[in-house]
Structure 1
Amino acid sequence: MPADSFVRSFRESSPYIHRFRGQTFVINFGGNAIADGSIRGLAHDIALLNSLGINVVLVHGAGPQIDAALQVHGLQTQRVNGKRITSPEAMQVLREAVGGARLVVEAALSEGQMGSPMAHAGLQVVSGNFIIAQPLGILDGVDYQSTGQVRRVANEAMERHLAGDEIVLLSPIGVSPTGTLFNIRAEEVAVAAAIALGAAKLVFYMDEDGVLDGNGQLLRQLTSSEIPGLLERQNISADAREHLLSAGAACARGVERVHLISRHVDGALLRELFTRDGLGTLISRDSFEHMRMATVADIPGILALIRPLEEKGILVKRSRERLEMEADHFVVMERDGKIIGCAAVYPYPDQGMAEVACLAVDNRYRRQGRGERLMAFCENWARERQLSQIFVLSTQTTHWFLERKFRQGSLEELPVPRQQLYNFQRRSQVFFQIL
């Protein structure tokens, strides 16, 4: 990587580094990452997260290891509704396979050879009886025997270890208050841990790049309310279906962000967490505050929002008739049915550009990142239309754009149609950002 690219990338990651420090991330990966050796690359990324002050909880699976051990012992198990029926004989084999998988993970996290990314990391990894289990029991006439479910998470004990800069490693086995071991799906353990710890992020490694739409294109962002519609599709993979169900359950219980990323991409975790575009699919929890494209019914709310700024000369005056004609160009931020922010985006496809205009946030909700969120929405809107740049014109908020890495440009750089509309009396300055 050229030196200037490295410096630029490192600087662009700094806002995420500051934001994530002290937060808790729960990361789930399957036994296939252990079997094919990719756990070593993941361990390097985990060491970096730990060095940045992020609390890390790892939840490993052991499916391939369990299947191989059962085959060696001549045992077979059935799966019903995605859950393995675990007989007492299978449980004896399963606990040894899971224990072996856990030791491989611990070994990868303990590497510290000079010259490797793990040098001087000195990671401290703790495992224990953090998952209290209960039997799944008999469902629809099927006795799941030693297959269980999470009854409770010992989150206070885990938090003490996390506060001591230790990484918590959870296995797909829980123990009941009677001392009985139960087989639990690793994904269920990860969801339960994320909810109990109030994790900021829950990350699932998967075989696909993320969730794909009907045309096979990666869906970069979803909200939890979109999950039921996706699950109705016939062409969604079983892997994606399980992760979406888990994401929905986690978001419904307070987890703000769930990330689905490919296990086949080296550094996928870092690219997803520390770059603006990410790598996989981000699923966010629905809230009472959200953004959407405007309709004509939103014009009164937009007018109430922008009129004070127009009177101060910050925004260009727009008539109600003009707003109604351009309503489909506006983005609104809505909170409990009230418009608290807006922006307009006008495409110039022949020049590969889009203009962002009329960016406004209600005075009571400023300085809380809402302007950045509106701008990010407009940027994504432009990217989806294959546009390469956005530009803004400003007279009184120039430093706001400069602080967000916009480049000051000239009138001549604007698309010709926009140059013809330029108001020389306002003498607005022009700023560009490459997408």
Structure 2
Amino acid sequence: MSTVFNFTFVPWFRSVAPYIHLHRGKTFVVGVVGEAIAAGKLASLATDLALIQSMGVKIVLVHGFRPQVNEQLRAKGHEPRYSQGIRITDEVALDSAQEAAGQLRYEIEAAFSQGLPNTPMAGATVRVISGNFITARPIGIIDGVDFKHSGVVRKIDVAGITRSLDAGALVLISPFGFSPTGEAFNLSMEEVATSVAIALQADKLLFVTETAGVRIRPTEPESDDNPIDTELPLADAQALMARLPTPERPIDPGYYLRHCVTACLHGVERSHILPYSVDGALLLEIYVHDGIGTMVVDEKLESLREATSDDVAGILQLIEPFEKDGTLVKRSRTEIERDIGNYSIVEHDGVIFACAALYPYPEAKTGEMAALTVSPQSQGQGDGEKILRRVEHRARAMGLTSIFVLTTRTMHWFIKRGFQPVDPDWLPEARKRKYNWDRKSQVLVKKL
């Protein structure tokens, strides 16, 4: 049993290590919906956040409290009132929100204070600091509806939050803000988390929500044939937003997507939508290559894009050394010009540093990723990962369920990123006819 464990644990831990190094010293803002706490997920979330913090990540936790406020209201004999998806916070609702926030802060602090032996929190020392970090103003009256004590973020105390993070504390923020005259305003968790992430220029904004993420075909029902889009370039996310109806309810993935897009447009490079129903969702998203939810990523358009005819010369120059040493099959200028629409590239200051092509086989619902090349000047900087993710995104958009590669020298790189070896007979018939049996390339497949 121990030998089997070693064979599974050691490769897994080695695969995680690059992400531990990558995220050390970074700042993450985590927004957790109140429904997650109501569903009994607080203890596991606290454990995972403590673990992430122990690996050098600075964490700001913003909690929601929608169901808890509704429960307090109903206990007082009042029904929750909303307009345009926003709570109308009268005096009773404000009292209920303050009671719910106080109770939740107590529960969250207690969860981070656990330290029993033989539990994941053993030996963890997590200092939780909360305070009046948010200045707010009233929403006011919109379309004749007075939102009373509901507000929007006006200012974030960046210096105060930064001092607390630098002191090693986890900063806990409730969705409340205060005016300069001392009035309290009920805010939305999603707006607070987004505003804090933008103000801090956080490295990640992560929403732990009721939804699993954004589906590739949002108008179709959830099914195995309509999987989550694990990565959305910012431009694609904006285009998707334009096609989605304006979300009225926070449970709609489009509601979270709107906040992710806002964050990315204002300097937060990566924003995520994760399901709280999956145990360890935060760990899976942060430390596993493919993640588990949807990530909106601000890959600058000038650095990661589809190739055009103007890029042919640059691609030829990039791949030529790898063709000479036998790593890649030789391709002529005519072939690349003909297939240029299949290529994606990473470009910086007019120089192409990485490329790959996707050749779809729709009848088999798969596609070949070919000519994946990274310049020696930028190897180790993540350009290969960027291109791989771009090709995966293009393949999903075509309705493909897998991608495959043929390689003679780089199989380990692909295996670490979720590819599995298969027999060449697995190949689609059209590709099998072109397979070079003398070259004996390894065929590796990745399910999307």
Shorter-chain TM-score tier: 0.7 to 0.9
Is 1:33 matched with 2:36? yes
Deviates more, 1:191-200 or 1:356-365: 356-365
Specify which of 218, 224, 230 is matched with residue 240 of structure 2.
230
Return closer, same or farther for 1:49/1:242 CA change in 2, 3 Å cut-off: same
Return closer, same or farther for 1:299/1:236 CA change in 2, 3 Å cut-off: farther
Is 1:166 matched with 2:163? no
What CA distance in whole angstroms lies between the structure 2 residues aligned with 1:342 and 1:5? 32
CA-CA distance at 1:250 after TM superposition: 0.7
- The answer to whether the 8 A contact 1:349-1:387 is kept is no
- The answer to whether the 8 A contact 1:293-1:328 is kept is yes
Structure 1: runs of 5 or more not aligned:
424-428
Structure 2: runs of 5 or more not aligned:
none
SS of the residue 1:318 aligns to: coil
Deviates more, 1:5-14 or 1:200-209: 5-14
SS of the residue 1:110 aligns to: coil
Kindly provide the amino acid, as one letter, of the partner of residue 333 in structure 1.
V
- The answer to whether the 8 A contact 1:406-1:432 is kept is no
Query: Structure 2 matches for 1:245-324, cutoff 5 A?
Result: 245-296=258-309, 298-306=311-319, 317-324=330-337
Is 1:244 matched with 2:247? no
Return closer, same or farther for 1:333/1:237 CA change in 2, 3 Å cut-off: farther
Return closer, same or farther for 1:206/1:254 CA change in 2, 3 Å cut-off: same
Query: Structure 2 matches for 1:46-195, cutoff 5 A?
Result: 46-195=49-198
SS of the residue 1:32 aligns to: helix
- The answer to whether the 8 A contact 1:135-1:145 is kept is yes
What CA distance in whole angstroms lies between the structure 2 residues aligned with 1:255 and 1:18? 20
- The answer to whether the 8 A contact 1:31-1:101 is kept is no
Return closer, same or farther for 1:287/1:60 CA change in 2, 3 Å cut-off: same
CA-CA distance at 1:55 after TM superposition: 0.6
What CA distance in whole angstroms lies between the structure 2 residues aligned with 1:413 and 1:431? 11
SS of the residue 2:98 aligns to: helix
Aligned-residue RMSD, C-alpha: 3.6
Specify which of 390, 407, 410 is matched with residue 405 of structure 2.
390
SS of the residue 1:289 aligns to: coil
- The answer to whether the 8 A contact 2:424-2:443 is kept is no
Is 1:43 matched with 2:46? yes
- The answer to whether the 8 A contact 1:288-1:335 is kept is no
> Normalising to structure 2: TM-score of the pair?
0.82
Kindly provide the amino acid, as one letter, of the partner of residue 233 in structure 1.
L
- The answer to whether the 8 A contact 2:153-2:177 is kept is yes
Is 1:209 matched with 2:212? yes
Return closer, same or farther for 1:414/1:293 CA change in 2, 3 Å cut-off: farther
What CA distance in whole angstroms lies between the structure 2 residues aligned with 1:379 and 1:70? 46
SS of the residue 2:112 aligns to: helix
CA-CA distance at 1:114 after TM superposition: 1.6
CA-CA distance at 1:289 after TM superposition: 3.3
CA-CA distance at 1:293 after TM superposition: 4.4
- The answer to whether the 8 A contact 1:356-1:392 is kept is no
Query: Structure 2 matches for 1:280-429, cutoff 5 A?
Result: 280-296=293-309, 298-306=311-319, 317-335=330-348, 339-345=352-358, 356-361=369-374, 368-378=381-391, 385-387=400-402, 390-393=405-408, 417=433, 420=436, 422=438
CA-CA distance at 1:406 after TM superposition: 11
Identity of aligned residues (%): 38
Q: Count how many residue pairs are aligned between Structure 1 and Structure 2.
A: 427
